[in-house]
Amino acid sequence: MLTFIGLGLYDERSITVEGAERLQAANRAFAEFYTSKLIGAEVEDLEAYHDIDIEVRDRPGVEQHPDDILDAAESEDVAFLTAGDTMISTTHVDLRLRAQERGIDTRIIHGTTAQTATSSLTGLQNYRFGKATTLPFEYAHGGDDVPESVRRTIDANREQGLHTVVYLDIKVGRGPDGDDPDHEEYMTADYAANLLAEYYPDTLGVVVARAGSPEPLVAADSLSALADREFGDPLHLLVIPGDLHLIEADALRDLAGAPEDLLDV
């Protein structure tokens, strides 16, 4: 059995009760933290809390050379862990399909995602979100601006009145000069807002920082204004709202400090 377990958003306790029970019952546990990570816990915290050794794999070890994970799952109960939910954004469908091809039973135990937490924290209604996008560091796409694909997604959503979640780049194990096992970099919301403000200077943006933590932060203002603020420790993301329902506008004003003149309802 290969069980994919989402760890949730913040620390060793963010996992569901069912996920914790399955993890503690597993013979072996593997994890990856290159797509996202738990800001409130290190691997050692997870191991101590759940009383199990966790073998961390890098991207090639999961996506190109997962044989050791699959070999173990052929004869043992194996858990595969990621932050958030293992099949939302940090998707590992390929690993699940490889297991299926080998006749290995698979199961998914879901965790809270940044998408659902963002809707909850901002008051923006979940069914009014369009396609999400990821804003990469400039060196990651070889340019010095916002990729056209990101702008197309935002523009298409806005034309339909839909909100856009903009995930911010994470670079673990790879930096500007290529592979680097010591490199760990998280794009901040002010950095992202500065990039986007070149194209959408007076557009309303919403910052969500440290979703899932005891003290998350939500702030709404123009992208140019957000570019001049600091939002503390990662992880951060941005939302570019579309058309606002009256209740959504009230939520952004009262919960996120959005200026009244940017709430066009």
Kindly give the parts of the chain with pLDDT less than 70: 89-90, 140, 142, 173, 175, 177-178, 180, 265
Q: Could you give the CA distance from residue 119 to residue 124 in angstroms, rounded to a whole number?
A: 5
Task: State the pLDDT at residue 89.
Answer: 66
- CA nearest neighbour of 159 among 130, 180, 124: 130
Q: How many CB atoms lie within 10 A of CB 96?
A: 19
Instruction: Tell me the two tokens of residue 50.
Output: 């759940």
**For residue 236, what are the β-bridge partners?**
209
Element containing residue 4 per DSSP (H, E): strand 2-6
C-alpha 2: how far from chain center: 23
- CA nearest neighbour of 222 among 193, 249, 247: 193
Q: Could you give the CA distance from residue 141 to residue 173 in angstroms, rounded to a whole number?
A: 16
Q: How would you classify the pairing of strands 236-240 and 204-209?
A: antiparallel
Instruction: Tell me the two tokens of residue 240.
Output: 């570019």
Q: Could you give the CA distance from residue 43 to residue 41 in angstroms, rounded to a whole number?
A: 7
Task: State the pLDDT at residue 265.
Answer: 57
Is the pTM here over 0.85, yes or no?
yes
Q: How would you classify the pairing of strands 106-109 and 78-82?
A: unpaired
Count Cα neighbours of 78 within 13 Å in the Cβ-side half-sphere: 23
Task: State the pLDDT at residue 38.
Answer: 92
Q: What are the pLDDT digits (tens) for 107-133? A: 999 999 998 999 999 999 999 999 999
